[in-house]
Amino acid sequence: MKIDFSTIAARYEAHSLVQMPAADLLLDLLEIGSADDVLDLGCGSGKPTRKIREITRGKVVGIDPSEGMIKEAVEKSRGMGISYEVGSAEELDCEACFDVIFCNSAFQWFSDPERALDNCSRALRKGGKLGVQAPAKKVYSPNFVEAVQKVAEDPRTGEVFSHFKAPWFFLETEAAYRELFEKHGFRVLLAKIESVKTAHTPEEVFDIFSGAAVAGYLNRDCYDSEIDAGYVETFREIVKEAFVRQAGGQGEVNLVFNRLFLVAFKE
């Protein structure tokens, strides 16, 4: 079975213990108006999209490249007047359609961030706002990076993992993100990378890992060689054991994420 966002869509909301609180913070920062037309770019299964619908009586649209995620979003949003489409930021094609673009925990997955930002600029009306929350820095989560390093070092998985190519886009500093967005016609009001810390059981941390990161680490499209069911099972086992060790005698993992919060206006 191929592992990607479509295959994890049904359990995404239950396991997105980190993404959803961050989405609430981004919504607060954006201050969406009661009549604003809003695009949720990379909407996933639509939980923040449904919150946006409660804020505005304007048009609300969710776009995501995963057919499975869009199917979940449609099912969970029936009767709410939200439009959903399968599509990517790189394919976004509309002119001055929205007052606000909300992009939560999706920017790091964009295959061509520069093209995506050009499309976002075109899709926004003059003075429109773009809000982004996303993991930042190569060490986006020290816990996850440390656990996956165990996979790289383990003789059962190391050779196959050496063929893994990370699908994510990360920059290391607030200034680098600011420069990127300003290059594409935005005036950046806020660009802040925060180290967000929460405490969870090892089982919860593994669920969080399985809720999104696994769509990269165990996606066959991210390897230039074949991966089989045995590799997938052993990978999961090694990562799960790593989180247990991180908890130590306390029984809880201090989970750390480096997260970008960015709000910009279209000039």
63-75 pLDDT, tens per residue? 999 999 999 999 9
What confidence score (pLDDT) does residue 212 get?
84
pLDDT of residue 45 exceeding 80, the answer is yes
**pLDDT, tens digit (0-9, with 9 covering 90-100), for 30-39:** 999 999 999 9
The overall longest dimension of the chain from CA atoms, in Å, is: 57
What confidence score (pLDDT) does residue 10 get?
44
**pLDDT, tens digit (0-9, with 9 covering 90-100), for 189-242:** 999 999 989 999 999 999 999 988 998 999 999 999 999 999 999 999 999 999
User: Is the pTM higher than 0.85?
Assistant: yes
pLDDT of residue 77 exceeding 80, the answer is yes
Work out the average pLDDT over 80-107: 97
pLDDT of residue 2 exceeding 70, the answer is no
Range in 4-8, 95-99, 174-178, 214-218 with the lowest mean pLDDT: 4-8
CA dist., res. 166 & res. 221, Å (int): 10
What confidence score (pLDDT) does residue 17 get?
39
Q: Where are the chain's structural domains?
A: 5-266
Considering only residues 175 and 20, tell me which one the structure prediction assigns the higher pLDDT: 175
What confidence score (pLDDT) does residue 172 get?
97
**pLDDT, tens digit (0-9, with 9 covering 90-100), for 239-261:** 999 999 999 888 999 999 999 99
**pLDDT, tens digit (0-9, with 9 covering 90-100), for 95-152:** 999 999 999 999 999 999 999 999 999 999 999 999 999 999 999 999 999 999 999 9
Selection from 148, 158, 150 nearest residue 217 by Cα: 148
Checking 223-228 for CB contacts under 8 A at 24+ apart, the result is: 223/160, 223/163, 223/164, 223/165, 224/163, 224/165, 225/160, 225/163, 227/160
pLDDT of residue 4 exceeding 60, the answer is no
Q: Which CATH superfamily is domain 5-266 in?
A: Vaccinia Virus protein VP39 (3.40.50.150)
Work out the average pLDDT over 147-160: 98
pLDDT of residue 188 exceeding 90, the answer is yes
What confidence score (pLDDT) does residue 20 get?
62
